[in-house]
């Protein structure tokens, strides 16, 4: 489902962010990506959703070689992947409903289909009653749930999250993690970069540790392993 073969990433300023990554992530897995600040975690996951391109190497996502993908096919790839960020990235002038509907409107789904699916995913994240609210009228945890609903609206097989609990208090972080766990249980592959040691050590999953641009550790039901 996700495969990297000898992947390297050097940024234009000469920083070697990744130096020879080989990894396979199967359908339905839940993977934490951990490691010190600046180790290359964000770069690793940005390559998956093609926010960045590798300098060298091959990346397959759902059977597509994304390292060779023409730019015009990027939107199609993005629909097979949902992405969630630390800072939510909701559109402030759109309501909760509109933020979630947006990803379906761009692929020209019918109004009826959009309404049915948007309400379905808002129900999943328990925010149907706030469909008409604007992002600044919501708590951080609620905003992240909207972002998760938006990421799921086109039923992607993979959900990628970059530090999704980084702006949330511990209790809210747990709520968000339970939601990710439910989403994974229903079959969606999850790849999550995180600094949250308590979550990683409690909700045991596969742990991939990136250090200095390399995979330093890859454990089934692993531990966080750092003191920060
Ligand atoms: N756009 C960029 N241009 C140049 N260098 C970059 C860019 N993005 C990241 N880097 C550098 O690449 C290295 C890896 O960064 P990356 O953001 O992948 O690390 P990270 O493990 O996600 O860090 P953090 O935990 O602090 O978010 C760092 O040295 C960083 O400064």
What number of CA atoms fall less than 13 Å from residue 225's CA on the CB side? 19
Number of domains making up the chain = 1
Question: For a pocket test of ligand 1, which of 11, 52, 208 has the largest count of ligand atoms closer than 8 A to its C-beta?
Answer: 11
CB of 42 sitting under 6 A from ligand 1: yes
Q: Please give the C-alpha separations between residue 67 and each of 13, 16, 63, 131, in angstroms, as whole numbers.
A: 21, 18, 12, 38
Beta strands in the chain (DSSP E): 2-10, 16-25, 30-34, 56-61, 64-65, 81-85, 158-162, 189-193, 206-211, 214-219
Residue nearest ligand 1's atom 27 by CA:
37
**Ligand 1 atom 25, closest CA:** 37
Residue 32 lies in a domain: yes
Q: Is residue 82 part of a domain?
A: yes
Condensed to tens digits (0 to 9), the pLDDT of residues 156-189 reads 999 999 999 999 999 999 999 999 999 999 999 9
In the three-class reduction of DSSP (H, G, I as helix; E, B as strand; rest coil), residue 150 is classed as helix
Domain containing 82 equals: 27-56+71-219
**Any domain includes 7:** no
Pocket test for ligand 1, best of 16, 17, 48, 226 (most atoms within 8 A of CB): 17
Between the CA of residue 51 and those of 78, 108, 203, what are the distances in Å?
10, 23, 28
Q: Quick check: CB of 37 below 6 Å from ligand 1?
A: yes
DSSP β-bridge partners for residue 58: 5
Question: In the prediction, which pLDDT does 86 show?
Answer: 96
Residue 213 beta carbon below 6 angstroms from any ligand 1 atom:
no
For 153-184, letters b (16+ CB in 10 Å) and e give bbebbbbbbbbbbebbeeebbbebbebbeebb
Regions in the chain scoring below 50 on pLDDT? none
> Atom 28 in ligand 1: which residue has the minimum CA distance?
38
State the pLDDT at residue 84. 97
Residue 199 domain-assigned? Answer: yes
Asked if residue 2 is part of any domain, the answer here is: no
> Is 12 part of any domain?
no
The whole-angstrom separation of Cα 16 and Cα 212 is 9
Altogether, the residues listed in the chain come to a count of 228
Question: pTM here?
Answer: 0.95
Asked whether residue 156 is assigned to any structural domain, the reply reads yes
* 224: in domain: no
Q: What is the pLDDT of residue 217?
A: 97
145 lines ligand 1 (CB under 6 A): no
The pLDDT value recorded for residue 228 is: 60
What ipTM score was computed for the predicted complex, to two decimals?
A: 0.97
**42: domain CATH number?**
3.40.50.300
């Amino acid at each position: 489902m996700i495969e990297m073969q000898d992947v390297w990433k050097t940024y234009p300023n000469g920083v070697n962010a990744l130096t020879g990554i080989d990894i396979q992530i199967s359908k339905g897995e839940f993977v934490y990506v951990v490691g010190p600040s600046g180790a290359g975690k964000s770069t690793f996951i940005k390559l998956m959703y093609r926010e960045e391109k590798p300098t060298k190497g091959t990346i397959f996502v759902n059977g597509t070689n994304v390292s060779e993908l023409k730019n015009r096919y990027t939107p199609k790839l993005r629909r097979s992947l949902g992405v969630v960020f630390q800072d939510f990235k909701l559109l402030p002038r759109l309501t909760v409903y509109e933020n979630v509907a947006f990803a379906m409107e761009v692929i020209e789904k019918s109004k009826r289909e959009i309404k049915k699916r948007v309400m379905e995913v808002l129900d999943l994240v328990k925010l149907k009653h706030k469909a008409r609210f604007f992002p600044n009228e919501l708590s951080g945890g609620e905003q992240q749930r909207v972002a998760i609903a938006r990421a799921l609206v086109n039923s992607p097989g993979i959900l990628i999250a970059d530090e999704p609990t980084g702006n949330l208090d511990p209790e809210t972080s747990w709520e968000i993690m339970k939601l990710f766990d439910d989403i994974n249980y229903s079959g969606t592959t999850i790849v999550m970069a995180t600094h949250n040691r308590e979550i990683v050590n409690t909700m045991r999953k596969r742990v991939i540790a990136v250090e200095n641009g390399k995979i330093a550790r890859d454990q089934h039901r692993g531990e966080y392993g750092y003191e920060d």
